[in-house]
Amino acid sequence: MHALKLILRNALRHKIRTGLTVFGLLVAVLAYGLLQTVVDAWYAGADAASKTRLITRSAISLVFQLPVSYESRIRAVEGVSTVARSTWFGGIYKEPKNFFPQFAVSTNYLDLYGEFILPDAERQAWARDRKGALVGRQLADQYGFKVGDVIPLRGSIYPGDWQFVVRGIFDGADESKITRQMLFQWEYLNEWLRQRPGRRADQVGVYIVGIDAPERAAEIARAVDAQFQNSVAETLTETEQAFQLSFVSMSNEIIAAIRLVSYVVILIIVAVMANTMAMSARERTAEHATLKALGFGPGFVALLIFGESLAICVAGGGAGLWLTPYAAAAFKQAAGGIFPIFAVSQTTVIAQALCALAVGVAAAVVPAVQASRVRIVDGLRAVG
């Protein structure tokens, strides 16, 4: 009890210095948490990928599409249960900054995405209307879309002014599902292409392949690709997670930089904390010598320094942990929907707490060892 009182009094002896150190640790823990959450958000799509879905695309590049005739041949492969079409549309809603994914899909697309919840009445209404669209709840909330609204898009890949009527709004089965996207009928896009010159009709961006046995995913993927080996349009079939990670890999340098910055922030606050504890220990050299003269051992002196350092870290780290979810929510809103899933994970919270604890311990090691080794005579002679 006496040790705890001494620790608290020592920590509050220089209130301004302690307050600034606590604030610095708060900012460091908060920044670390937000940066790690950004990295988690980058991987959200891949983490939510299903093991029962494969993606078949052009072996050359996503830019090149596949013939619609491939669908029946893929469906005939043993182990394949369902095949759906999906083509990236790339339209602009009012302004280029209002970016969100739009896909032209076959009407059985949702059969493969059980994590998307849509009332049967709305799905049937969408299937009956070639210009109908389905929007995810996150997208609907962001732009205020409601059933019956008309969404105007300016085509970039498919030039022209397009209008789609919202026939349904689908929800995610849980908060980890990304629903910031719009779906419309692939047949509508294909009919439009057939009315124009060129050979862009009857082409599909990717095929979503449903399989019954996830453990056979690699085998089925090889069987699908073997169907089109040495053809004009060879395919590459991979798991949905691998497909998603291929996009994330394009930003590996950015992700690595974000991780590095988060670690640098912690190292900087370690240096600040170490300086604070060194100053505190040096100022109290005579007091520590007096405690030794009264019979308190070197361990007790070291305990006071470690206790003060940990008390400061608990205050700053605790405040940072408490503020992180609120800061993440504010960041998500300010980002304008760039990250549909931006939630602080339990792993990040634990990492923040461990970082704060590590800072407290690391900053106190050297001052504590030095103070415990000070001779009584030298300590009483010292002037803080």
Asked if the structure places residue 50 within a domain, the reply is: no
Let me know whether 331 and 276 are in one domain: yes
Label residue 18 by pLDDT band (50, 70, 90).
confident
Mean pLDDT, rounded, for 290-318: 79
Let me know whether 16 and 72 are in one domain: no
Beta bridge partners of 104: 87, 184
Let me know whether 198 and 271 are in one domain: no
Which segment of 9-23, 120-134, 140-154, 279-293 scores lowest on mean pLDDT?
279-293
Mean pLDDT, rounded, for 102-119: 93
Total domain count, the chain: 2
- Asked if residue 168 has pLDDT above 90, the reply is yes
pLDDT digits (tens, 9 = 90+) for 241-283: 888 877 666 667 777 888 888 888 888 888 888 877 777 767 6
**Higher pLDDT pick, 230 / 47:** 230
Q: Which two tokens stand for residue 191?
A: 């009919």
pLDDT digits (tens, 9 = 90+) for 33-50: 888 888 887 777 666 667
Q: What is the pLDDT of residue 336?
A: 62
What is the C-alpha separation between 217 and 238, in angstroms, rounded? 8
Let me know whether 90 and 24 are in one domain: no
Mean pLDDT, rounded, for 220-234: 92
Mean pLDDT, rounded, for 19-23: 85
Let me know whether 284 and 141 are in one domain: no
Label residue 338 by pLDDT band (50, 70, 90).
low
Let me know whether 181 and 319 are in one domain: no
Q: Mark which of 233, 259, 293 sits at the end of a domain.
A: 233
Q: Mark which of 173, 200, 233 sits at the end of a domain.
A: 233
Dihedral angle of Cα 287, 289, 293, 299, to the nearest 10 degrees? 100
Q: What is the pLDDT of residue 265?
A: 85
Residue-number span of the structural domain to which 7 is assigned: 2-44+251-381
Please tell me the pTM assigned to this model: 0.73
Asked if the structure places residue 167 within a domain, the reply is: yes
Let me know whether 74 and 185 are in one domain: yes
Contacts of 354 (CB under 8 A, 6+ apart): none
Let me know whether 370 and 262 are in one domain: yes
pLDDT digits (tens, 9 = 90+) for 172-200: 888 778 888 999 999 999 999 998 887 78
Q: Mark which of 203, 233, 263 sits at the end of a domain.
A: 233
Let me know whether 171 and 129 are in one domain: yes
Q: What is the pLDDT of residue 17?
A: 80
Q: What is the pLDDT of residue 5?
A: 72
Asked if the structure places residue 289 within a domain, the reply is: yes
> Do 88 and 205 meet the contact criterion of CB atoms below 8 Å apart?
yes
Output the average pLDDT for the chain.
Answer: 85
Let me know whether 216 and 290 are in one domain: no
Which pairs from 138-141 meet CB under 8 Å and 24+ separation?
138/172, 138/178, 138/179, 138/180, 138/337, 138/340, 139/100, 139/179, 139/180, 139/181, 139/182, 139/337, 140/166, 140/169
Which segment of 45-59, 91-105, 132-146, 151-165 scores lowest on mean pLDDT?
45-59
Let me know whether 207 and 85 are in one domain: yes
